A and B are shown apart, each in its own frame.
Chain A
Amino acid sequence: MSLTDEQTMTLEAYADTIIPGEKRGPDDRAIAGVATGGGAVAAGALDILQTEAGGLAAVLGGLADMLDKHVLAYAEEHGIELDPTAPPFVALSYQDRVGVVSMLCRPGHPEKQMWVNLAMFSNMAFDTGAHLSTARAFETGHPGLLHLGFRRPDSDGLWRFPEYSYRRPLASPHPATTPSGSPA
């Protein structure tokens, strides 16, 4: 199911609240711009959310619309006047976006699971780029893997760490350790 521009902006703003990044240009309203470097959106949050494998693609538009309804209630409660030229969640300051996400993902909120799912996939876009093969993610300079400092594989695409150990005893074993190395 294709998303409207407003729905896309709303979901981008949600993902950007989870792992914020820098604006893509002066007219970028979805990204709040509270961090430097690419965030969840640049890492491919919308791509991963729309994969068939992820399982959320069919409900994304509905989630965006529900989010905006929650924002209207939140804005009224907090006396916030929303700019009508942007979708309600996008119109919020970053601080209020945090307020809405915190409210929806709070234990006990009846819709918590779906908002946590959206947050998990947004985070996963950033920390794995799981809509891409990891080799391809590195080729495209995936901002999340680079941010984590995830090491690149060897030339055959596999990881090996020949240097991996301090190679010396660093603590005394428990005195009751059995001969096979287990607790007594």
Chain B
Amino acid sequence: MTTVDNTDVVVIGSGFGGAIAAYHLAAGGARVTVLERGPWLTADEFDQDFLLGSSTTRIFDFTVGNGMSVLGGNCVGGGSVVYFAAMPRVPGFVFERKGSIGRRMWPAALSRPTLDPWYDRVEESLQVTKSDWNTVPYAGGLFGAACAAAGRTANPVPTCVNADECVNCNWMMSGCKYDAKKSLLLNYLPAALAHGARIRPLHEVQKIVRTDDGGYRVHFSVLDEVDYRVHHETGAIDAKIVIVAAGAGATPSILMRSAAELGPMPAAVGRHFSGNGERLNTAILDEDKVREVLGLSRSDGVPFEAGQIGKGPCVATWDDLDGSKPEYDRYSLEQLYFPPGLGTILAQVPDATGPTWFGPEKKAMMAKWQSWLTIFTMIEDDNEGVFGPPPPTGNSYRVSQQMFGLGSLSYDPTPNTLHGWEITDAEVKRIMERDGLSKVMPWTNDLVGAYTVHPLASCRIGDDPATSALDDRHELRGHPGIFVTDGSAVPCALTVNPAMTIAALAERAMPGIVAALRERGVDVSYGAPTPEGATSSRAALQPHLLPD
């Protein structure tokens, strides 16, 4: 027996797209329920532990597709809890990209200048700060020095990690125990709760259907807290507006599964997926050359041996973010950390005489793991990902109790994408092998296909109904009252880390969603300050409050 609840807005997912919506709509006076399929953990529950069943697997999903594997958050706070918190704005030329459709992919209303005010809000909300070299970990410093030696510039990347609170443990993919990373658990979500929003963890939405009054009924099942393959009771909530923000790897599955009862989806639902053009190279450093060539030495005299130390990506080189260059020739390179578990198997042995990803030579390479430097590439890919029919529930056939599943996404890189990876592999090699500094190989794509930690564009905004699922207000074409505000709305690969842009687009979508609610008779207003602004205000007010 399915019980049916009732609210003004159901938000599916609690990552950037969901949390921002939940806050603004609740603050404006709407009744908001957030359905999140992952668990709800706080800092004291984040483990620094590889054990299956620890927070490392509870809050993270690894979904292997056909030619593309997607890594992402699976918890209240979504990607913000597991990500590395790099928050650059997107270079202006990206908004002019045409991709393979031969015309501008972004809506005419969007450009860097029109998005900048929304970036400003996110910067304040998430406490994004400009990093400096004094707090850049060894790995970032080394990459910066290697870039400089190769004639390139390099920038400390803006992040929402508080450098004073961070202990550089590099466990941030398992959740930050120190709350140094300003995830959504610390700003938008508590602010939404303070305004009456409800968050229901372990609630996996399966489909959306229409109700007779013009609203929607959202069907969910409640997942077992340990074994996500096990579904307990089912339920449904009726709402006037539904915001789908399950992430670019999951939003299409919900919409495609709903099509049987909702009616046909726009052609772009589940198509034009982008992996943000991502690829990794591993450099195995010659420690002596680090000292000789780059003049680097830690305080204890060791040149590097610091692969484990740090806070994810901290330094990037942006010389090829050059709008005068042709599309597919523009990219950024960024120093990264990837923990063991998934972070060694795809790395390949340079100059191997036997197999490159396993065997004795790979084992010998792993003995130098502390001298590995991982370089992250973000190119312009061709939006070539396509989702197949959705699995019966969720967005994958779960293999393990947690984390690991098989999805329906196919990705066959076009010559443009392959070109981007080829020129960036060559440039990483040029930077990192110069003067014998290291030996470099890209990660293999033979095992799990390409891979991305930044899935995008599987339900994108645009002006052209043939190639975009959403209008420029993020409303799903042909289904008034359904909005999509997560990474799937971003039209294309961004050449930089996308969280800042996903969040800014969600902020920008809010006035339109408030208007849609008002059209449906909900007494709601728009104009709440950023949650951090409110927090700052309350903190400033505190000394002036009279005691009881």
User: A155 interface residue, CB < 8 Å from B?
Assistant: no
B340 pairs with A164, CB closer than 8 A = no
B319 pairs with A18, CB closer than 8 A = no
A126 to B345, CA, bound (A): 10
User: B134 interface residue, CB < 8 Å from A?
Assistant: yes
B144 pairs with A171, CB closer than 8 A = yes
Chain B residue total in the interface (Cβ 8 A): 88
Contacts of B171 in A (CB 8 A): 159
User: B430 interface residue, CB < 8 Å from A?
Assistant: no
Q: How far is the CB of A173 from chain B (nearest CB, A)?
A: 5
B299 in complex: contacting residue of A153, A163, A178, CB < 8 Å: A163
User: A12 interface residue, CB < 8 Å from B?
Assistant: no
A binding-site residues for B, Cβ under 8 Å? 17-20, 34-35, 39, 48, 51-56, 98, 101-102, 105-107, 113, 116-117, 119-120, 123-124, 126-135, 137, 147-151, 153, 157-175, 177-178, 180-184
Given the known inter-chain contacts A18-B358, A101-B358, please indicate yes or no for A147 contacting B400, CB distance below 8 A: no
Q: How far is the CB of B499 from chain A (nearest CB, A)?
A: 13
Of the 9-residue stretches B12-20, B84-92, B466-474, B540-548, which lies at the interface with chain A?
B84-92
Contacts of B400 in A (CB 8 A): 53-55
A52 to B402, CA, bound (A): 11
B446 pairs with A105, CB closer than 8 A = yes
Q: Total contacts A to B, CB within 8 angstroms?
A: 218
A132 to B305, CA, bound (A): 26
A153 to B50, CA, bound (A): 13
A107 pairs with B446, CB closer than 8 A = yes
11 contacting pairs across A/B (C-beta < 8 A): A53-B52, A53-B401, A53-B402, A55-B404, A106-B446, A131-B51, A133-B49, A159-B167, A171-B147, A173-B154, A182-B119
Q: How far is the CB of A131 from chain B (nearest CB, A)?
A: 7
B48 pairs with A159, CB closer than 8 A = yes
Residue of B nearest to A122 (CB): B358
Q: How far is the CB of A59 from chain B (nearest CB, A)?
A: 10
Given the known inter-chain contacts A132-B51, A134-B48, please indicate yes or no for A148 contacting B340, CB distance below 8 A: yes
A161 pairs with B169, CB closer than 8 A = yes
User: B271 interface residue, CB < 8 Å from A?
Assistant: no
Interface of A is mostly: loop
Given the known inter-chain contacts A167-B133, A173-B155, please indicate yes or no for A119 contacting B50, CB distance below 8 A: no
A158 pairs with B309, CB closer than 8 A = no
B153 in complex: contacting residue of A106, A130, A171, CB < 8 Å: A171
Give the contacts of B319-375 with A (CB-CB under 8 A). 319, 321, 332, 340-341, 343-345, 354-355, 358-360, 362-363, 366-367, 369-370
Residue of A nearest to B405 (CB): A55
A177 in complex: contacting residue of B155, B170, B341, CB < 8 Å: B155
A19 in complex: contacting residue of B91, B170, B317, B362, CB < 8 Å: B362
Given the known inter-chain contacts A134-B48, A134-B49, A172-B148, please indicate yes or no for A98 contacting B359, CB distance below 8 A: yes
Contacts of B305 in A (CB 8 A): 149
B402 pairs with A165, CB closer than 8 A = no
User: B496 interface residue, CB < 8 Å from A?
Assistant: yes
User: B487 interface residue, CB < 8 Å from A?
Assistant: no
Q: Mark B76-107, 1 if CB is under 8 A from A, else 0.
A: 00000000000011111000000000000000
Contacts of A120 in B (CB 8 A): 345, 447
Contacts of B446 in A (CB 8 A): 105-107
Please give me the 4 A-B residue pairs with the lowest Cβ-Cβ distance, nearest first.
Answer: A181-B130, A171-B154, A128-B50, A182-B89
A178 in complex: contacting residue of B89, B144, B306, B308, CB < 8 Å: B89
B141 in complex: contacting residue of A147, A157, A158, A165, CB < 8 Å: A165
B355 pairs with A98, CB closer than 8 A = yes
User: B489 interface residue, CB < 8 Å from A?
Assistant: no
Contacts of B344 in A (CB 8 A): 123, 127, 148
Contacts of B119 in A (CB 8 A): 182
Given A127-B340, A128-B50, A163-B298, 14 more pairs with CB closer than 8 A: A20-B360, A127-B341, A130-B50, A130-B52, A161-B310, A164-B137, A164-B138, A165-B137, A166-B138, A170-B144, A174-B319, A175-B153, A180-B158, A181-B131
Contacts of B134 in A (CB 8 A): 165, 167-168
A149 pairs with B367, CB closer than 8 A = yes
A52 to B362, CA, bound (A): 28
Residue of A nearest to B322 (CB): A176
Give the contacts of B157-200 with A (CB-CB under 8 A). 157-158, 167-171, 177
User: B64 interface residue, CB < 8 Å from A?
Assistant: yes
Residue of B nearest to A48 (CB): B52
A98 to B156, CA, bound (A): 43
B399 pairs with A173, CB closer than 8 A = no
A55 pairs with B401, CB closer than 8 A = yes
B359 pairs with A165, CB closer than 8 A = no
Q: How far is the CB of A123 from chain B (nearest CB, A)?
A: 4
Q: Mark B442-484, 1 if CB is under 8 A from A, else 0.
A: 0000111000000000000000000000000000000000000
